[in-house]
Amino acid sequence: MDKATLLFVDDELHILNALNWLFRKQYKVLLANSGEEAIELLKQHPVDVLVSDQRMPGMTGIDVLREARKVRPETLRILLTGYSDFKAIVGSVNEGEVFRFIQKPWDNAKIREIVAEAVEVARSTADAARKAEEAATHAPDTATEAERIGVMVLDEDDSITESITATIKSRHPVVVANSLEKAIEVLESQKIGVLISETQVGQTDVTALVKLLKQFHPEIVTVVVTGHNDAELVINLINEGQIYRFLPKPVKPGICKINVEAALRKHRQLAENPDLRIRHIVDKDAFLKKLGITHVAELTGGAETSAETAPKGFFSNLMARLRGLRTQTAN
């Protein structure tokens, strides 16, 4: 197998040099001094992983990601950010479907790890991604198909739950959960394909659940709709929760509809191409290790989790562990 190809985009030559020195031994490295140059390179060469700076004159990082998605959908996209500009971050999630954020200044070991992971994911799913993207662009909206997708809305905000329910109720079953407990109960008893979630319900932070879900059910597509507009939060939700969309409140019903439809299509794509799921997974073992769990079976009393439904008690046990961990850190 030949070397994987990386493409780095930054207007600062010193950054390109540093990244080149860092990766040239293991990978074939392409360097672009601007977004326009990057898109040209992308058209000429197959690229596994694209790493772009956000703040550049001319095309910004989001523009590069958006264009790259069109030119080479199979290329995994990583955004390099220094200045945490909320709008840019949200744009890169919703328009650029960014795989990870790397914050400047980076740690060499960490950036190598993220890039290695991205390369692995990209290489193992490139064909599937290409095909799926083609299928998605050519296929009509298949919402009326027989297969129904379970949608869970985890929010207390009635306007959101109502607008979503109204949009898709006729085609897909919608469950509204207004507490973490209710959400866990639903997850353990029903098959859910799309999760539309706030980051905070009542006084409870539910981002842990969002992240947790992605660890074990990468086929569940998450749309976060929240009033907490914080760039760090988005970065965290992407890097650890692989959320599909981030919609800052207030959300216009039209925008909400488009994104929920997109999430439904995405879920169908993932359900049909199990190979693609790896593109939406975060390191499960590392995550469990953080919780002090060596094997998943510890939580389920011997039963293995499947992609379909989690065994009873799995999520509640995991959440309990997670909370225990929080309290420890707090102390």
Partner 1 sequence: MKFKLVRFFVLTSIVFFFLTVGSLSFLQQKVAVNNLIDTAQANHVDLTKAFSNSLWDDFRPFMAETRGLSREALQNHPKQAELYQKVQHMLKGLTVLKVKVYNSDGLTIFSTQKSQIGDDKSQNGGFLSAMKGQPISELTHRDSFSAFDEVVEERDVISSYVPIYEKAGGQPVGVFEIYSDMTGLLANVTQTQYTVVGGVAGLVLLLFLSQFFAIRHADRTIEQQEREASRAKLQLAQQEKMASLGQMVAGVAHELNTPLAFSRSNIELIGEALNQLQPAMQWGHKLVEEVKQQPEKGRLKLSFRAPELRREAADYDPDLLPEEVGEVVNQTLAGLEQMAELVRNLKDFTRIDRAKVAHYEMNKGLDNVLYIAKSVIHTAIQIDKDYEDNLPRITCMPSQINQVFINLIQNAAQAVDPENGHITVRTRADGDRVRIEVEDNGSGIREDDLPHIFESFYTTKAPGEGTGLGLSIVKEIVDQHGGEIQVQSTVGEGTTFTVWLPVEAQVDNNVAQAA
Contacts to partner 1 by CB under 8 A: 11-12, 14-15, 17-19, 21-22, 25, 55-58, 82-83, 104-108, 111
Question: 260, 267 in Cβ contact below 8 A?
Answer: no
What CA–CA distance (Å, rounded) separates 268 from 138?
15
Minimum Å distance from CB 25 to partner 1? 5
Minimum Å distance from CB 204 to partner 1? 30
Minimum Å distance from CB 19 to partner 1? 7
Give the dihedral sign, CA 107/111/112/113: positive
Minimum Å distance from CB 18 to partner 1? 4
Q: What is the Cα 258 distance to its own chain's centre?
A: 18
Is the CB of 12 or the CB of 145 nearer to partner 1? 12
Is the CB of 231 or the CB of 262 nearer to partner 1? 231
Minimum Å distance from CB 264 to partner 1? 35
Is the CB of 14 or the CB of 138 nearer to partner 1? 14
What CA–CA distance (Å, rounded) separates 214 from 176?
19
Is the CB of 22 or the CB of 223 nearer to partner 1? 22
Is the CB of 112 or the CB of 228 nearer to partner 1? 112
Give the dihedral sign, CA 147/149/150/156: negative
Is the CB of 12 or the CB of 283 nearer to partner 1? 12
Is the CB of 107 or the CB of 134 nearer to partner 1? 107
Minimum Å distance from CB 29 to partner 1? 13
Buried b (16+ CB within 10 A) or exposed e, 68-106: bbebbbbbbbbbbbeeebeebbbbbbbebbbbbbbbeee
Specify the 3-state DSSP secondary structure of 189: helix
Residue 107: is it exposed, middle or buried by C-beta count within 10 angstroms (0-12/13-18/19+)?
Answer: exposed
Closest-CA residue to 74 (of 35, 119, 38, 24)? 119
Is the CB of 25 or the CB of 138 nearer to partner 1? 25
Minimum Å distance from CB 96 to partner 1? 18
Task: Please name the helix (run of DSSP H) or strand (run of DSSP E) that holds residue 162, with its range, or none.
Answer: helix 158-168
Residue 105: asked if its preceding bond is cis (omega within 30°), the reply is yes
What CA–CA distance (Å, rounded) separates 299 from 59?
48
Minimum Å distance from CB 80 to partner 1? 8
